[in-house]
């Protein structure tokens, strides 16, 4: 009888321990420190791709359940507006807000470089004090935040396959424009060689001369539109080729991080119109120099456009149809104003020979 009682008691003890073990494990899992964060990203953003494919996977592998990143994809213009509303409330200006943006506690990390540089130390810092809960976001943003999915469910192969299927949309056009500008620069060099030999180009007359202000006005419209997009952070109308919004949201869209490239272009086109008008309707020494000034501005604009197109093709890995249009306009303006520059060079050579 005692053996039966002892056997029953042992069985009850074993069952109790078996039930207690999972409960204890679950409690330990719940109480283990973890770092929770929100990652805002958009498809087609190369810096987001860097974070998703290269920055987060090794950290997730290292910290496992102690790191919980929820991903919120920005898809529509309304999502972008809501995104700006959220982080202006955190004290960031619109110029500082960009994707990818990772929010942990009240510390927003903006851009692939900052996330890669600061996230590992933040994880260690928060784990050392017992972890941190998901960020508290005030305001009516529940619809956007409800779309958040865990990073652990993200399949990198899906992103790679999607990009491989779609390809670098508009890349061929970017290289074509780059080739056009290269040919234009080569023609300038050949014209300069002939000018030094005393053989300048004849001035363009008629509609070719009027093409200069016409192109400048078109370029001004393009530049003002890009300036509006850069300042307002509105989504650009890109058409079937390229990804203007990726280019415009990159750090290269502003000189020194402050001055919009589109505004620089607008000022250049306004100066071109002013110089052309002065050359055509005024006389004197300044009017003669205006033709050379026109060429100088167009040459600078073309070289700068080559640099920007290089960034689009090889750094940003997205092209902007508006930017490429401005690049073509600059190259055409350079060729249309080339005769005045060659005549000035030839005259200078003759003066020196005398």
What are 120-149's pLDDT values in tens digits? 999 999 999 988 898 888 778 888 888 899
Distance CA 60, CA 154 (A): 11
CA pair distance 67, 35, nearest whole angstrom: 5
Domain covering 168-353, topology: de novo design (two linked rop proteins) (1.20.1440)
Contact 151, 39 (CB under 8 A): yes
CATH architecture of 34-165: 3-Layer(aba) Sandwich (3.40)
The helices-and-strands tally (H runs, E runs) of the chain is 14, 7
> How far is it, in rounded angstroms, from Cα 255 to Cα 272?
21
Find where tokens 């190369």 sit.
Answer: 46
Residues 111 and 98 sit within 8 Å (Cβ to Cβ): yes
Question: What is the pLDDT of the chain when averaged over all its residues?
Answer: 81
Instruction: Check if the beta carbon of residue 62 is closer than 8 Å to that of residue 157.
Output: no
Torsion region of 123: left, alpha or beta (phi above 0 gives left; psi -120 to 50 gives alpha): alpha
Per-residue pLDDT at 38: 93
Q: Is the pLDDT of residue 319 over 60?
A: yes
* Cis peptide bond prior to 100, omega within 30° of 0: yes
Question: How many Å apart are CA 75 and CA 146, to the nearest integer?
Answer: 14
Q: Kindly indicate the confidence band of residue 47, based on its pLDDT and cuts at 50, 70 and 90.
A: confident
CA angle at 343 for the pair 340 and 347, rounded to the nearest 5°: 140
Determine the Cα–Cα distance for residues 76 and 80; give it in Å rounded to an integer.
7
Q: Which helix (H) or strand (E) holds 172?
A: helix 171-196
Spacing of C-alpha 78 from chain mean position: 19
CA distance 342 to 332: 16
Q: How far apart are CA 243 and CA 135, in angstroms?
A: 31
Mean pLDDT for 276-296 is 82
> Which string of DSSP letters, residue by residue, matches 236-305?
P---SSS-HHHHHTSGGGEETTTEEHHHHHHHHHHHHHHHHHHHHH--SHHHHHHHHHHHHHHHHHHHHH
For residue 32, pLDDT over 70 is answered with yes
**Cβ atoms < 10 Å from Cβ of 134:** 16
Tell me the domain boundaries of the chain: 34-165, 168-353
At 66, the pLDDT band (50, 70, 90 cuts) reads very high
pLDDT tens-place string over residues 182-210: 999 999 999 999 888 888 888 777 788 89
The verdict on pTM exceeding 0.95 is no
Average the pLDDT over 83-100 and give the result: 85
pLDDT of residue 15: 55
User: How far is residue 270's CA from residue 282's CA, in Å, rounded to a whole number?
Assistant: 18
Mean pLDDT of 231-258: 73
List Cα–Cα distances, 59 to 46, 66, 87, 154, in angstroms.
20, 10, 25, 14
Residue in the structure block whose two tokens are 């502003």: 254
């Amino acid at each position: 009888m005692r053996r039966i009682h002892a056997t029953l008691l042992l069985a009850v003890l074993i069952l109790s321990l078996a039930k207690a073990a999972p409960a204890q494990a679950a409690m330990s899992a719940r109480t283990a420190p973890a770092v929770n964060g929100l990652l805002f990203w958009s498809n087609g953003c190369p810096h987001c791709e860097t974070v998703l494919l290269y920055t987060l996977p090794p950290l997730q592998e290292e910290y496992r359940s102690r790191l919980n990143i929820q991903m919120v994809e920005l898809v529509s213009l309304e999502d972008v507006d809501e995104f700006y509303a959220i982080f202006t409330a955190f004290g960031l200006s619109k110029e500082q807000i960009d994707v990818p943006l990772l929010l942990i506690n009240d510390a927003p990390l903006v851009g692939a470089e900052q996330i890669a540089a600061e996230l590992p130390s933040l994880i260690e810092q928060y784990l050392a004090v017992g972890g941190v809960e998901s960020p508290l976001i005030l305001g009516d943003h529940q619809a956007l935040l409800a779309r958040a999915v865990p990073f652990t469910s993200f399949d990198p192969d899906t992103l790679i396959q999607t990009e491989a299927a779609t390809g670098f949309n508009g890349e061929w056009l970017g290289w074509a424009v780059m080739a056009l500008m290269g040919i234009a620069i080569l023609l300038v060099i050949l014209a300069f060689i002939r000018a030094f030999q005393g053989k300048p180009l004849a001035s363009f007359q008629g509609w070719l001369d009027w093409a200069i202000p016409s192109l400048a006005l078109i370029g001004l419209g393009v530049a003002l539109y890009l300036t509006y997009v850069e300042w307002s952070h509105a989504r650009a109308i890109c058409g079937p080729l390229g990804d203007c919004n990726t280019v415009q949201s990159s750090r290269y869209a502003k000189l020194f991080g402050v001055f919009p490239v589109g505004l620089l272009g607008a000022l250049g086109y306004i100066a071109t119109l002013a110089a052309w008008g002065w050359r055509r309707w005024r006389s004197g020494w300044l009017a003669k120099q205006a033709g050379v000034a026109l060429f100088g501005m167009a040459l600078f604009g073309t070289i700068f456009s080559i640099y920007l197109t290089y960034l689009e093709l090889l750094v940003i890995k997205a092209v902007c149809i508006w930017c490429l249009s401005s690049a073509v306009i600059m190259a055409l303006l350079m060729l249309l104003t080339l005769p005045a520059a060659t005549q000035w060079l030839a005259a200078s050579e003759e003066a020196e020979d005398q």
